[in-house]
Chains A and B, each alone.
Chain A
Amino acid sequence: MSDTIEATERVEPAPAGRPSRSILRRVGEEFLRRREASVLVVAVGLGVYFASAHPAFLTEPNLVNISQATAPAAIIAAGMVLVLVSGEIDLSVGVVAALAPFNMHYLIDYYGMPAIPAILLVLLISAAIGLLNGAVTVFLKVPSFVTTLGTLYLITGVVLTTSHAYPVAIPPETEGTIRTWLGAATWSTLIWCLLIVGFFHVLLTRTPWGLHTIAVGGNLLGATEAGIRAGRIKIGNFMMVSTLGGFAGLLEAFRINTIDPNIGGGTQIMFLAVSAAVIGGTALAGGSGTVLGAFLGALVLAELQNGMNLIGISANPYFLILGIAILVSMIANVYLSRLRRAGRV
């Protein structure tokens, strides 16, 4: 179909015979066309499998476990998708998550700041790290992989040096309401996660910012010729993912009730977020990706880890399966988008 010029050839007569079947088929095709479809099938399939394999899987405490494993990765992944779609990557976001609760601790306990301004300032500092990542990448033309590799180690050094690699207690000023709202309450992290995923999904799919993000990642020269300020878009996305990293770090610290230099496992949470984005159908090359897909990707990863643990498989093969999942979903992604281009799906 790709070289037809006349539209008339493409218009198919409305199927009059069996409308119920054609509606089903159309729903099916629409479903397949959505990038999130395949990963949703995997997420539901895994849920059904583990639920039947172990009775504890669907109990409330376990669902809380899964939600708490999903949330921080999905929150970071929401911003990561935007960065990836604009054609860049941020490796430093995981250690920004580790730095954020320490910054809060320093501001409150050493500088005597009230809790809420301190938390806001922590988020601002996180955004500033994103600004640094973006500015070095855009203005000094250092590839973002290298820029953020540098800031990854730099911030790790800051965290370890200033904390002497020891965990500290949550500042008492944040006990109570703040802690409850920001991660300690049972479903708190999931609620934040859903709000953030919803917001970034709309940002990417329904706003000029999202459109320009796709344009910059899809055709940098063309987007620039159309007058889009590509640098501004990229820097903004770096700032958003970094802020989300800081926020996820705070949530984690409040949830586990400790400020630990290993929050997010150093680079682990960043790799989880990238994996979630990739499994959810985001291309690393830029130009396409979905926030909902990344959320589902994070859910799949959490389900896998939790379910395998429940049915008594040790944690080690988890990485084996994670690796296979990334490869399979990436191959499927490349293949499916080729089919989509050809107009067959």
Chain B
Amino acid sequence: MATDGSGEALKVEHVAKRFGGVTALADVNLRLARGEVLGLIGDNGAGKSTLIKILCGFHQPDAGKIFVAGEEVVLRSVDHARSLGIDTVYQDLALVNELSVYHNMFLNRELVRWPLLSNRRMRRLARQHLEDMGVNIPSVDDEVAKLSGGQRQAIAVARSVYSDARILLLDEPLAAMGAKEGALILDLVHDLKARGDMSVIIIAHNYGQILEVCDRINLLQHGAITFDKATSETSVKELTDLVVAEYRAARTQKLRAGPQADARPTPRR
């Protein structure tokens, strides 16, 4: 695994974030190589969403450093992160049901021949781009309301990829998705990986499915990465055991400490 500056898309060093009295992230160290797909797993409240919101510029960390392509950066806003090539596909996808697929693909990045929209060009490019990415949808003219969850997700991903993103953050792309639709997303990530220039972080609650597309798995527990292994060196069983062990440990601790231990606040997702 390349760890020198040139091959590194993203590096996070000792990042911490507190919300009031709650420590969401204690000390996160993470690296993402160019062209790598990293699976970020962890239980609810482990800090996954906080970490992603820091990486996409939504939250600013209290401590720690972030490097993009080897250079230290301070991500001031979502727009700023986007300008550095970090694009996020949110769980809500940010699609407008009432608009066609191609208008959604170009939302706020419309092609214009002043003062009118270049609909023909956007339609053609959207169709071509979706085809290149292997996303099959009935027609780019359809309103996205007509599409299935998987197709909508695919369009949101395609839009981010098309916007020259170099680092893609997928926030629980498989949540609330059927097996067939999940497969569509996983295929999409496979294709991105094959391109080699796109680095991806997939946040997942259920890691069974994402294991097959990820190069590496990081486990986030209580605001720190506690496990970092190449996918080939781990297994679903090992990960399951880890999480179950964590659960058992927490339970034992709770039983020993008595009921007041329940008061430990968990950061909201």
Whether B138 pairs with A4 at a CB distance below 8 angstroms is yes
Whether A341 pairs with B110 at a CB distance below 8 angstroms is no
Instruction: Verify if B254 is at the interface (C-beta below 8 Å from A).
Output: no
Q: How far does the Cβ of A78 sit from chain B's closest Cβ, in whole Å?
A: 17
Residues 103-130 of A, flagged 1 when their CB comes within 8 A of B and 0 if not, give: 0000000000000000000000000000
Q: Which residues of B contact A288 (CB under 8 A)?
A: 98
Q: Which residues of B contact A221 (CB under 8 A)?
A: 92, 94
Task: With CB as the reference atom, state the residue of chain A lying closest to B142.
Answer: A343
Q: Which residues of B contact A99 (CB under 8 A)?
A: none
Instruction: Verify if A8 is at the interface (C-beta below 8 Å from B).
Output: yes
Q: Which residues of A contact B108 (CB under 8 A)?
A: 212, 215, 223, 226-228
Q: Which residues of A contact B98 (CB under 8 A)?
A: 214, 217-218, 287-288
Q: How far does the Cβ of A309 sit from chain B's closest Cβ, in whole Å?
A: 38
Instruction: Verify if B175 is at the interface (C-beta below 8 Å from A).
Output: no
Q: Which residues of B contact A1 (CB under 8 A)?
A: 138, 146
**Given B93, B96, B150, which contacts A287 in the complex, CB threshold below 8 Å?**
B96
Assess A287 versus B136: contact at CB under 8 Å? Given A207-B117, A215-B107, A226-B108: no
Task: With CB as the reference atom, state the residue of chain B lying closest to A205.
Answer: B117
Give A228 to B78 CA distance when docked, in angstroms.
13
Instruction: Verify if B196 is at the interface (C-beta below 8 Å from A).
Output: no
Residues 175-215 of A, flagged 1 when their CB comes within 8 A of B and 0 if not, give: 00000000000000000000000000010001110011011
Q: Which residues of A contact B180 (CB under 8 A)?
A: 5
Give A202 to B92 CA distance when docked, in angstroms.
30
Interface secondary structure of B, over-half rule: loop
Instruction: Verify if B261 is at the interface (C-beta below 8 Å from A).
Output: no
Whether B116 pairs with A5 at a CB distance below 8 angstroms is no
Assess A219 versus B94: contact at CB under 8 Å? Given A5-B148, A208-B112, A211-B117: yes
Instruction: Verify if A59 is at the interface (C-beta below 8 Å from B).
Output: no
Whether A211 pairs with B99 at a CB distance below 8 angstroms is yes
Give A10 to B151 CA distance when docked, in angstroms.
14
Q: How far does the Cβ of B79 sit from chain A's closest Cβ, in whole Å?
A: 6
Residues 324-342 of A, flagged 1 when their CB comes within 8 A of B and 0 if not, give: 0000000000000000110
Task: With CB as the reference atom, state the residue of chain A lying closest to B106.
Answer: A211
Instruction: Verify if A20 is at the interface (C-beta below 8 Å from B).
Output: no
- A287-301 interface (Cβ within 8 A of B): 287-288
Task: With CB as the reference atom, state the residue of chain A lying closest to B148.
Answer: A3
Task: With CB as the reference atom, state the residue of chain B lying closest to A220.
Answer: B96
Whether A219 pairs with B96 at a CB distance below 8 angstroms is yes
**Given B96, B115, B142, which contacts A214 in the complex, CB threshold below 8 Å?**
B96
Instruction: Verify if B143 is at the interface (C-beta below 8 Å from A).
Output: yes
Assess A5 versus B94: contact at CB under 8 Å? Given A206-B117, A341-B146: no
Instruction: Verify if A60 is at the interface (C-beta below 8 Å from B).
Output: no
By CB atoms of chain B within 10 A, which of A219, A228, A340 has the most? A219
Instruction: Verify if A314 is at the interface (C-beta below 8 Å from B).
Output: no
Whether A10 pairs with B138 at a CB distance below 8 angstroms is yes
Q: Which residues of A contact B107 (CB under 8 A)?
A: 211, 215, 223, 226, 228
Q: Which residues of A contact B115 (CB under 8 A)?
A: 207
Whether A206 pairs with B138 at a CB distance below 8 angstroms is no
Whether A211 pairs with B103 at a CB distance below 8 angstroms is yes
Q: How far does the Cβ of A3 sit from chain B's closest Cβ, in whole Å?
A: 5
Q: Which residues of A contact B151 (CB under 8 A)?
A: 5
**Given A4, A8, A206, which contacts B116 in the complex, CB threshold below 8 Å?**
A206
Instruction: Verify if A161 is at the interface (C-beta below 8 Å from B).
Output: no
Instruction: Verify if B197 is at the interface (C-beta below 8 Å from A).
Output: no
Q: Which residues of A contact B136 (CB under 8 A)?
A: 5-8
Whether B99 pairs with A218 at a CB distance below 8 angstroms is yes
Give A215 to B143 CA distance when docked, in angstroms.
12
Instruction: Verify if B97 is at the interface (C-beta below 8 Å from A).
Output: yes
- B98-142 interface (Cβ within 8 A of A): 98-99, 103, 107-108, 110, 112, 115-117, 119, 136-139, 142
Give A221 to B180 CA distance when docked, in angstroms.
28
Give A211 to B119 CA distance when docked, in angstroms.
11
Task: With CB as the reference atom, state the residue of chain B lying closest to A222.
Answer: B94
Whether A202 pairs with B99 at a CB distance below 8 angstroms is no
Instruction: Verify if B95 is at the interface (C-beta below 8 Å from A).
Output: yes
Give A10 to B139 CA distance when docked, in angstroms.
9
Give A215 to B110 CA distance when docked, in angstroms.
13
Instruction: Verify if A2 is at the interface (C-beta below 8 Å from B).
Output: yes
**Given A3, A214, A340, A343, which contacts B99 in the complex, CB threshold below 8 Å?**
A214
Q: Which residues of B contact A212 (CB under 8 A)?
A: 108
Q: How far does the Cβ of A340 sit from chain B's closest Cβ, in whole Å?
A: 8
Give A64 to B55 CA distance when docked, in angstroms.
64
Whether B95 pairs with A219 at a CB distance below 8 angstroms is yes
Whether B90 pairs with A225 at a CB distance below 8 angstroms is yes
Q: Which residues of B contact A227 (CB under 8 A)?
A: 79, 82, 108
Instruction: Verify if B22 is at the interface (C-beta below 8 Å from A).
Output: no
Q: Which residues of A contact B112 (CB under 8 A)?
A: 207-208
Instruction: Verify if B236 is at the interface (C-beta below 8 Å from A).
Output: no
Whether B96 pairs with A207 at a CB distance below 8 angstroms is no
Instruction: Verify if B147 is at the interface (C-beta below 8 Å from A).
Output: yes
Instruction: Verify if B176 is at the interface (C-beta below 8 Å from A).
Output: no
Instruction: Verify if B69 is at the interface (C-beta below 8 Å from A).
Output: no
Can you list 7 A-B pairs, Cβ within 8 angstroms, ordered by A? Answer: A1-B138, A5-B136, A218-B97, A221-B94, A225-B92, A228-B108, A341-B145
Shortest Cβ-Cβ A-B pairs, 10 listed: A222-B94, A218-B98, A225-B94, A10-B138, A7-B136, A287-B98, A218-B96, A3-B148, A215-B96, A226-B108
Instruction: Please give 7 more A-B residue pairs, beta carbons under 8 A apart, in addition to A10-B138, A202-B116.
Output: A1-B138, A208-B110, A208-B117, A211-B103, A218-B98, A227-B79, A227-B82
